Amino acid sequence: MVAEDDEKQAELVRRYLEREGHSVLLVPDGLAALEAVRRRAPDLLVLDVMMPRADGLDVVRVLRAEDRELPVLMLTARSTEDDLLLGLDLGADDYMTKPYSPRELMARVRTLLRRTRRSAASADGSANVLAVGTLTVDPDRHEVSVDGAPVVCTPGEFRVLVAMAGEPDRVFTRQRLLEELNGYDRYVSGRTVDVHIMNLRKKIEPAPRRPVRLLTVYGVGYKLTDPAKGQARRASS
């Protein structure tokens, strides 16, 4: 959910989020944000500070008083240290000052969502291990296995798997995967992504030329899925 009273800014954020596959709800003020959170239970709130009816700080204060663990990323034109600390002290998870880079905003969103999913996994007793069918990825131990058998991956391949296993069935564009690879591969390009995908298929697919886990979505990118789910859907149709 994006709570922003500047229509142009809200529309810009919405476009970037939807480009990455998110469903987005826009609300124009603080009270609308509180009502929508209670009604819709979003996965993440991108929250402007300066809004009518109730400002972003008041929204965070109420949400935390209600013991809602919704991750909140605050946006503000204020840049003083006191303002930043107040937002964080009230319970915001991250803070960006305007003007900001939309690409950096998307990176912050991804980080918060991954952190939330890992916390939920830990609460369920599964620690940080990511599982997509019989494929498991352990970011802490840097381990990958398929059907219980270990798979050796390069740092770049591992980073691709961590990102995709964290959001199964979501389509990742080449650009998104390039952002995940920055800092892991010295030279990255769209071709780098394709090579990693090809090599991963050799390691995790029973028949690399006919992939059932790491699929191509033509004209868009790639997604990681549980092949058993696909078989179940085909059997029921």
- Give the pLDDT confidence of 184-228 residue by residue, as tens digits: 444 456 677 888 899 999 999 999 999 999 999 998 899 999 998
Going along the chain from its start, the domains and CATH numbers come out as: 2-121 (3.40.50.2300), 130-236 (1.10.10.10)
Residue tagged 């909140």 (tokens): 72
What residues form DSSP beta bridges with 151? 144
Please report which residue ranges of the chain form alpha helices under DSSP H: 7-19, 30-40, 56-65, 81-90, 102-123, 155-165, 174-181, 190-204, 227-236
Nearest of 176, 204, 169, 203 to residue 190 by alpha carbon: 176
Burial readout 22-42 (b: 16 or more C-beta within 10 A, e: otherwise): beebbbbbbbbbbebbeeeeb
**Residue with more model confidence, 47 or 236:** 47
Residue tagged 């591969």 (tokens): 185
Length of the chain measured in residues: 237
What residues form DSSP beta bridges with 95? 74
Nearest of 64, 69, 71, 67 to residue 47 by alpha carbon: 71
**Contact (Cβ atoms closer than 8 angstroms) between residue 136 and residue 129:** yes
- Kindly report, residue by residue over 147-186, the tens digit of the pLDDT: 999 998 887 888 899 989 988 999 998 888 887 776 544 4
SS (H, E, C) 84-150: HHHHHHHCCCEEEECCCCHHHHHHHHHHHHHHHHHHHHHHCCCCCCEEECCEEEECCCCEEEECCEE
Q: How far apart are CA 222 and CA 167, in angstroms?
A: 12
- Kindly report, residue by residue over 26-82, the tens digit of the pLDDT: 999 999 999 999 998 899 999 998 888 888 889 988 988 888 878 899 888 765 556
Kindly report whether the peptide bond that precedes residue 99 is cis, defined as omega within 30 degrees of 0. yes
Average pLDDT over residues 83-93: 74
